[in-house]
């Protein structure tokens, strides 16, 4: 079946612009996670949804970052006033329930120039 | 505060021999641990997991060992194959928390033919 799909696969934007990153989880998966991975580092937790609600957003670095999952399926990560330090690979993952292995997408590589 | 640590950034092993990847954690509330493999330009792929009620879990060539008193887990791959060359991440979560997974920084395994 289809895995986790992330679009776009690459995004180049100028400093100060707004970007949206999209994640289509595996059908039926109730849990959805966003992570950020910088070069040479492990995935860094950003936010976790259980259904439509954000169960834990403690990893969002500041108020420029926001994520939604309005219908409990597709999620969008939104970054306002992008900075060069936001450049990273943004990974989305879903799982059928809490405390189940995560299934990752291939990520969106964001480059802020 | 790095709650999950992989102190070896890289490891080289001869084909057919055993690969041992190590992971340490500091949070005693962690009770579910996973190993992921990552190839370049792809998302992490789930390999094997272990619950804190066990000290060993085996799946084919992959075995994970958990030592709760030492807060240490390891992944054994035997026999190692060239296709195992990838970056390996360990991750941990706590059922008493919000089920977010904390990842280590990864170990790059190179299996030499």
Digit-coded pLDDT (tens) for B39-70 = 998 999 999 999 999 999 999 999 999 999 99
Cis-peptide, bond into residue B79, ω within 30° of zero: yes
**List of chain A residues whose C-beta atoms are within 8 Å of the C-beta of residue B34:** 101-102
Residue of B96 and B75 predicted with greater confidence: B75
E-strand stretches of chain A:
5-7, 10-13, 19-24, 31-37, 44-50, 53-56, 65-68, 75-79, 88-95, 103-104, 108-112
Retrieve residue B69's tokens. Answer: 């008193």
Mutate to test the interface with B, among A42, A50, A109 (most CBs of B within 10 A): A42
**In this predicted model, which residue has the larger pLDDT, B104 or B97?**
B104
Which residue in B has a C-alpha nearest to residue A41's C-alpha? Answer: B105
C-alpha to C-alpha distance for B50 and B56, rounded to whole angstroms: 7
Instruction: Over range B29-40, report the average pLDDT.
Output: 95
Give dist(CA B84, CA B65) in Å, integer. 19
Taking residue A65's Cβ as centre, other Cβ atoms within 10 Å add up to 18
If you average pLDDT over every residue of chain B, what do you get?
A: 95
Q: What is the pLDDT of residue B2?
A: 81
3-class secondary-structure state, position B14 = strand
Chain A residue closest in CA terms to B5: A42
Can you list the residues of chain A whose pLDDT is less than 70?
A: 1
Cβ contact A33–B101 (<8 Å): yes
**pLDDT tier at B4 (50, 70, 90 boundaries)?**
very high
Q: How far is CA B102 from the centre of its chain?
A: 12
Q: Which residue has the higher pLDDT, B94 or A77?
A: A77
> Are B100 and A103 in contact (CB < 8 Å)?
no
* Predicted pLDDT of residue B95: 76
Query: How many A-B residue pairs are in contact by the CB < 8 A criterion?
Result: 60
**Nearest in space to B48 (alpha carbons), one of B58, B38, B39:** B58
Confidence label for B97 from pLDDT (cuts 50, 70 and 90): low
> pLDDT value at position A100?
87
> How many Å apart are CA A69 and CA B91, to the nearest integer?
24
B99: which chain A residues are within 8 Å (Cβ-Cβ)? 31, 48, 50, 55-56, 98-99
Partner residue facing B99 (CB), from A43, A48, A91 = A48
pLDDT per residue as tens digits for the range A37-56: 999 899 999 999 998 988 89
């Amino acid at each position: 079946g289809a895995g986790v799909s992330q679009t776009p696969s690459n995004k180049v934007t100028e400093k100060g612009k707004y970007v949206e990153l999209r994640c289509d989880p595996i059908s039926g998966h109730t849990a959805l996670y966003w992570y950020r991975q910088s070069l040479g580092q492990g995935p860094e937790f950003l936010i976790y949804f259980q259904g439509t609600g954000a169960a834990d957003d403690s990893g969002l670095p500041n108020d420029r970052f926001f994520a939604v999952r309005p219908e409990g399926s597709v999620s969008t990560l939104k970054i306002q006033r992008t900075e060069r330090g936001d450049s990273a690979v943004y990974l989305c993952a879903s799982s059928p329930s809490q405390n189940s292995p995560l299934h990752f997408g291939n990520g969106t590589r964001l480059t802020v120039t | 505060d790095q709650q999950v640590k992989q102190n070896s950034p890289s490891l080289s092993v001869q084909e057919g021999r055993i690969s041992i990847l190590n992971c340490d954690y500091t949070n005693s509330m962690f009770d579910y641990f996973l190993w992921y493999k990552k190839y370049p330009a792809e998302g992490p792929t789930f390999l094997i997991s272990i619950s804190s009620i066990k000290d060993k879990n085996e799946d084919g060539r992959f075995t994970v060992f958990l030592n709760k008193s030492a807060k240490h887990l390891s992944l054994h791959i035997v026999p190692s194959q060239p296709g195992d060359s990838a970056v390996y991440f360990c991750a941990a979560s706590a059922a008493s928390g919000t089920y977010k997974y904390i990842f280590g920084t990864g170990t790059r395994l190179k299996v030499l033919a």
